[in-house]
Amino acid sequence: MNLNKILYRTITTSKSASKKVTTNDLSSKKLKHSSQQWLSRQMSDPYVDKAKMLHYRCRSAFKLIEIDDKYKFLKPGDTVVDCGAAPGSWTQVAVNKVNADAADSKLKVGKVFSIDKQQIFPINGAAILGNMDFTQTASQEELRKALNGSKINAVISDMAPSATGIGQMDKENIIHLCYSVLRFAVLLSDIDAAVLVKLWQCGETKKLETDIGKFYRNVKIVKPNASRADSAEIFILGRNFKGLKVS
């Protein structure tokens, strides 16, 4: 297996995807219609109401809850890294799942490290690295320092790139984020660890699934009920990390 080819994979965008997009390319009428659709969907979404009731910062919490309830890869005492964590709903779930806030004195106490290039307001039980771009080497070095030698049991990522308005470019960009997460996870994870990444269904999905399978014994493509039905969003979960053989 060629580790360099997989771990340091880069995405080359097509010429057609590299066009500059300006606000003039989109009519104000279309933007207004899109905003109205979003507002209407939010108001009728049961997960939005449920998130408010349970004090989660956003509805995406239920995606992670559903995936972990089914596959049980987050356990008390685990060390978890949450990539692209803002506003923090996945971190809230992870803290609860691994008992990072020591809420249950009978269980092992885990650790949760959350990183995002946006600000993340404090979450009890989590180490927050806000205003840091996970894809940058300097940010990952800061994360390594925070881990202080701890091996990771799960790397989770709900990261998505800023939308360009060009479908192909957006899909390539999110695949690039997935490989960045995979590389980090492979280098710092403990044996039998897990990795969970978000992407949009595209032509690269199968290749990413295959590449994750080179390092994790069990790989699943999952789409939780909390993901909107009309969304191309899916998640790939890799479990039982094989470890790296050092030659």
* Domain ranges within the chain, ordered by starting residue: 25-54, 57-241
Output the average pLDDT for the chain. Answer: 87
171 is catalytic: no
How many CB atoms lie under 10 A from the CB of residue 92? 28
Contacts made by residues 146-149, CB under 8 angstroms, sequence distance 24+: 146/113, 147/79, 147/81, 147/113, 147/188
Strands 152-157 and 189-200: parallel
DSSP annotation string for 170-198: HHHHHHHHHHHHHHHHHHHEEEEEEEEEE
pLDDT band at 11 (very low <50, low <70, confident <90, very high): very low
Written as one letter, the residue type at 64 is L
Joined tokens for residue 52: 């408010």
Strands 79-83 and 111-115: parallel
For residues 45-54, average pLDDT: 86
| Tens-place pLDDT, residues 159-173 | 999 888 888 899 999
CA dist., res. 102 & res. 109, Å (int): 6
Joined tokens for residue 42: 């939010």
For residues 2-26, average pLDDT: 44
Joined tokens for residue 209: 């699934």
From 198, 214, 220, 242, active-site residue:
198
DSSP 126: E
Tell me which fold the domain 57-241 belongs to.
Rossmann fold (3.40.50)
DSSP annotation string for 9-38: ---PPPTGGG----GGGS-HHHHHHHHHHH
pLDDT band at 108 (very low <50, low <70, confident <90, very high): very high
Residue 97 belongs to what H/E stretch?
helix 89-98
